[in-house]
Structures are given as C-alpha cells and as structure tokens.
C-alpha cells in the first residue's frame, strides 16, 4: 500500500526549531554572482548591489564598536526590505545575504518566525536569536496584525542587540502602487525600525510562468494510483483526508511531514471548503516548494483550490503565491513522468 502523509505525525522539539532556520535546499548554493538580472529590469541589478551593500553594513554592525573600558559592543543592526512580485528572485537574493554573513545566522519565512516565537516563548526566542549576525525573513506578511506586531517587537529587540534584518515581501505583478503601499505598511508596523530599513523594489515577471502552458490537466484516479505505486518514496492522499490531518498538526511540523518524500499525489482535489483549509494548504505548498517535491493530482486542477471569493479577500497574495508554486511543482511532476 502506498504511504500516506495523513498517516504521519512528526514530532519536533521546540529547541530544534532555531537550528532548522536555514534556506530551503534549492538555495544551498546560490550567491549574488549566480543571480542573473534581467537586462530589461534594471531594478534587479540594483537589488543585487543593495544586497551586497547590506552585507557590508551588517558585518560592520556585528563587529561592533568600542564601549567603556575598550570592550566591544555590537552596533544596532541594519535592515533591508526587498519588495516585489512573485518569482523575481527575491528569495535567491535573501539566501545570498544569508550565505555571505557569518554564523550564527537564521533564515525563515514570516510564518516560521511566528511559529518559533510561539513554540519557544518570546523571551526565549529573543535570547536564542540575539547573538545572530542576521535574521532573514522571507515573505513578510501584513494580513495578521497580531503576528505582525509580535514579529515587529521581536525585530526591535534583535536589532538593538546588533542583529541585522533582511526581509522580502510579495506584490502582485503590475500593481506597483499596491506594492509601495505594502512596503509602507511594513515600515509603519515596525515603527521602531522604520529609520533602519532600506526599501528596495525588485520588478519583473514570475520566472515560474515564463513561456509556460497553463496548469496540467488532472490525472484519472487510476493513473494517479498507478503512478504513486510505481514511484519509490511517493505518497498518495485523499484531499479531504489530508485536509483533516493538516488541521491536527502545528504548521511548524509540515517540513518534517514531507521529509524523505519524492512525489506527493493527491486524489479528488476540489476547491477548499473554507479559509482555514486553504491557509493550511498555503503552508504545505510553501514547504513542498522549499523541498522541490513534485505534486500531481486527480479531480480539480491545482489552480482551482482557492476560490474566487478567497482570491478577493485579505489573503489574496498568499493564495496567488501558493498557486504559482503548486503549478511549478505540478509541471515538474508532469515532466518527470513523461521523461520516465
């Protein structure tokens, strides 16, 4: 019988969460040099230079200044905020910053940072991170005021301890006004840090969809089952059963949930019944994308999970990012199957 994700119940010790704050495997070897700016998008080349400059300033801040009695103390951390659309390489640049900084250092999505603070407690999280040279936060989000203020308070304390902060955020392509507004909201929310952050715009089309066809057609139930059974390391889950199982797990465990999986097969996919289900699939999509695990389905297409009503609401950017990533993973599965 093909293994199911819904049969897995991973256990993650809170103390291990900080150690897991590293870039996704696909960004293990990236650098500023390996980022290729689009010739017709000058903001991309400017973002590379901004990233290099941030590293220099952050390293200087961490090396500190002479205090009383000649003892070195860390200077206030510096900040960089990369604001742009989906798939323009912001995560590549953020991971490049991470790799260029000395250890200890941390890299996590905004959601993962909130999970770490929740699991460790605020004071413990500050203590564990305050000796880091940099905290890189991917996909900073503004749709939950409580989480945003929590992280804002965390960043304020960390920068005072000399930790520099680099962050990214998504803006819908073609909606530059909305992008600038999001950046200003970010700076306003972390008002204590507003004078520290440099905001840099990164424009361009989503590389995941350049010259690509639309979402692959779903497979039949029989085709999906046969593929799962013939693929070592594959899992096969019913959409509703997987949705129910995800509700029983803290999202910080989703990374361990898919550990060692080579292909995720989901049968009877259909539009999510409510926002809670949809948001859990957003987190799962992020972890699958980070691990570069192909996804293939039966039922509805993967770009039909999030309803028009959901896409018109406050979580629009999350859903569009997840759809972009799921389609990339489904094309990967489709290509691999044809190659095989």
Predicted confidence (pLDDT) at residue 183 exceeds the cutoff of 60: no
pLDDT at 191: 58
pLDDT > 70 fraction of the chain, expressed in percent and rounded:
83
Which pLDDT band, with edges at 50, 70 and 90, does 338 fall under?
very low
Residue 179 pLDDT > 60, yes or no? no
Write down the CATH number for the domain with range 31-206: 3.40.50.300
The answer to whether 29 and 255 are in contact (CB under 8 A) is: no
Report the chain's mean pLDDT, rounded to a whole number.
85
Average pLDDT over residues 47-75: 78
pLDDT at residue 295, rounded to an integer: 97
State the Cα–Cα distance between residues 3 and 235, nearest whole angstrom: 5
Alpha carbon distance 116, 120 (integer Å)? 6
Q: What is the pLDDT of residues 129-169, one digit of tens each?
A: 999 999 999 988 766 667 777 888 898 899 999 999 999 98
Tell me the backbone φ, ψ of residue 253, rounded to 5 degrees.
-95, -5
Least confident range from 37-41, 148-152, 218-222: namely 148-152
Phi/psi for 84 (5° steps) reads -175, -175
Condensed to tens digits (0 to 9), the pLDDT of residues 103-136 reads 999 999 888 898 899 889 999 999 999 999 999 9
To which H or E segment does residue 109 belong? strand 106-109
Give the three-state DSSP class for 225.
Answer: helix
Does the pLDDT value for residue 177 go beyond 70?
A: no
So what's the pLDDT on residue 149? Answer: 77
Burial class (CB within 10 angstroms; exposed 0-12, middle 13-18, buried 19+) of 84: buried
**pLDDT(245) > 60:** yes
Angle at 307 between CA 113 and CA 296, to 5 degrees: 75
Contact 245, 274 (CB under 8 A): no
Cβ 80 vs Cβ 97: under 8 Å = yes
What pTM value is reported for the model?
0.77
Residue 273 has a pLDDT of 93
> How many other C-beta atoms lie within 10 A of the C-beta of residue 24?
18
pLDDT over 60 at 45, yes or no:
yes
Q: What is the pLDDT of residue 318?
A: 84
Kindly tell me if the per-residue pLDDT of 188 is higher than 90.
no
């Amino acid at each position: 019988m093909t293994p199911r994700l819904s049969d897995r119940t991973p256990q993650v010790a809170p103390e291990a969460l900080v150690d897991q704050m590293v870039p996704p495997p696909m960004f293990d070897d990236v650098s500023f040099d390996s980022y290729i700016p689009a010739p017709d998008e000058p903001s991309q080349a400017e973002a590379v230079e901004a990233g290099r400059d941030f590293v220099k300033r952050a390293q200087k801040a961490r090396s500190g200044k002479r205090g009383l009695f000649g003892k070195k103390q860390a200077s206030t951390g510096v900040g960089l905020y990369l604001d742009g659309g989906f798939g323009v390489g912001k995560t590549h640049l953020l991971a490049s910053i991470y790799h260029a900084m000395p250890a200890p250092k941390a890299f996590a999505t905004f959601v993962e940072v909130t999970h770490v603070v929740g699991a460790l407690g605020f004071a413990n999280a500050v203590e564990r991170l305050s000796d880091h040279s940099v905290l890189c936060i991917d996909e900073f989000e503004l749709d939950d005021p409580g989480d945003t203020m929590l992280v804002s308070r965390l960043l304020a304390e960390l920068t005072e301890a000399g930790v520099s902060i680099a962050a990214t955020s998504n803006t819908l392509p073609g909606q530059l006004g909305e992008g600038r507004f999001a950046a200003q909201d970010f700076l306003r929310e972390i008002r204590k840090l507003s004078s520290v952050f440099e905001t840099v715009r990164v424009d361009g089309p989503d590389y995941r969809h350049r010259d690509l066809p639309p979402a692959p057609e779903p497979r039949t139930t029989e085709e999906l089952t046969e593929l799962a059974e013939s693929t070592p390391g594959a899992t096969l889950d019913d959409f509703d059963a997987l949705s129910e199982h995800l509700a029983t797990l803290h999202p910080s465990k989703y990374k361990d949930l898919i550990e060692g999986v080579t292909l995720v097969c989901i049968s009877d996919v259909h539009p999510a019944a409510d926002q809670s289900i949809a948001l859990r699939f957003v987190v799962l999509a992020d972890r699958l994308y980070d691990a570069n695990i192909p996804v293939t389905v039966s039922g509805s297409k993967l770009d039909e999970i999030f309803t028009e009503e959901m896409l018109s609401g406050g979580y629009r950017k999350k859903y569009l990012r997840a759809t972009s990533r799921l389609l990339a993973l489904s094309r990967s599965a489709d290509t691999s199957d044809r190659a095989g």
